[in-house]
Amino acid sequence: MFDWDHLRFFLAIARSRSLSAAARQLKVQQSTVGRRLAALEAEMDARLFDRTPDGYLPTSAGEALLGRAERIEEETLSAERELLGRESRVAGVVRMTSAEAFGNGVVVPLLGQLRLEEPEILVELVASNAALSLTRREADLALRLGRPQQPLLYISRLGEVVNGLYGAREYLARRGRPRTLELGDHDVVLFDGALESARHPMTWFGQRARGGRPTARLNSSYGIAAAVQAGLGIGALPCWLGDATPGLERVLPAEVLAQALWLVVHRDLRHVARVRAVSEFFARELRRAAPRLLGRPPPRTGRRSR
């Protein structure tokens, strides 16, 4: 019988297509990955990957092993999750993931309040536009813009995040405020194409601003906000960021894109005490933050003058 632990290395290579990327994922030396692959191929008496210019691609034997290896991985992780689910102490590490800008701009400021309420929980936040897999335990819970489609997940809709169009006051004073989406007389700031998707603000804005002249392409909402603030043109931003950035004004306020905000947990982890505590905290606080996320003005608190 072959060493089952070799399958971790086999799956990492199959998913990343390189020994170096697999080594980074597994946090081991590249030579260790190569040695484990060689040992598995010797034990199976089969070549499992073809070394090509495009990376390590599974052979027919590798393809036959891949499906079984993924099922073994899922059963192993499911057993681990079941045991973790019996934990009742509200303490330990909870690994979260969210989109980069939302994580840094909305989630991080809430961590101080969470710390006061649950001082024995340590949150590890991966704020990244790359979607980590909850099924493979790359994260315990996620905040996602757009409904997740993966199986084995428990999802809860927390509300919406609205995106609008913004320009710097000085730019608008110099170039004029657009009345329609005919932006032929305006400069526009766009997202980098690597983030393009049907419901991403880049696609939404790009379809509406075809007449504008691109002046910059950036790969983060904070980069877009800085470029718009610097007077490079009109850009699309989540309203919670655009409304809070000094010197910006919303233009064409009827033109908005609403993205559903979902809290996502693997169904085997939703009853783990620490994961449940963090999930309930963010569900509560993000629902309270709804006006800000929807781009609504804050309520007036001062007294009326007589």
pLDDT in tens, 188-216: 998 875 544 545 666 778 777 777 899 99
Q: What is the pLDDT of residues 151-172, one digit of tens each?
A: 778 899 999 999 999 999 999 9
Q: Are the C-beta atoms of residues 74 and 135 closer than 8 Å to each other?
A: yes
Residue whose tokens read 């049907």: 198
Helices (H), 140-289: 169-175, 201-208, 221-229, 239-242, 273-288
Portion of the chain with pLDDT greater than 70, in percent: 91
Cα 46 from chain centre: 38
The mean of the pLDDT values for the chain is: 87
- Residue 161 tokens read as 């995040």
Domains parsed from the chain with CATH numbers? 6-84 (1.10.10.10), 93-298 (3.40.190.290)
Q: What is the pLDDT of residues 3-28, one digit of tens each?
A: 888 999 999 999 999 999 999 989 99
pLDDT for residue 305: 43
Length of the chain: 306
- Closest among 209, 246, 210, 208 to 228, alpha carbons compared: 246
Provide the pairing of β-strand 257-266 with 153-168: antiparallel
Q: Are the C-beta atoms of residues 276 and 270 closer than 8 Å to each other?
A: yes
pLDDT for residue 225: 96
CA 78-15-141 angle, to 5 degrees, is: 45
Rounded Cα gap, residues 123 and 274, in angstroms: 10
The residues, any chain, with a CB within 8 Å of residue 265's CB and separated by 6 or more, are 134, 140, 141, 142, 153, 154, 155, 275, 279
Q: What is the pTM of this model?
A: 0.69
Which of the 8 DSSP states describes residue 247? T
pLDDT band for position 89 (cuts 50, 70, 90): confident
pLDDT band for position 129 (cuts 50, 70, 90): confident
Reduce the DSSP state of residue 237 to 3 states and report it.
strand
Selected residue with higher pLDDT from 197 and 105: 105
- Residue 33 tokens read as 């990955």
pLDDT for residue 85: 58
Helices (H), 45-161: 60-84, 100-102, 111-117
Which of the 8 DSSP states describes residue 179? S
The residues, any chain, with a CB within 8 Å of residue 279's CB and separated by 6 or more, are 141, 156, 263, 265, 270
pLDDT for residue 13: 93
pLDDT band for position 84 (cuts 50, 70, 90): low
Burial (CB < 10 A; 0-12, 13-18, 19+), residue 154, is: middle
- Angle formed by the axes of helices 60-84 and 6-16, to 10°? 110
Residue type, 191: F
Residue whose tokens read 């169009």: 165
Portion of the chain with pLDDT greater than 90, in percent: 59
Q: What is the pLDDT of residues 234-252, one digit of tens each?
A: 999 999 999 999 999 999 9
Q: Are the C-beta atoms of residues 26 and 18 closer than 8 Å to each other?
A: no
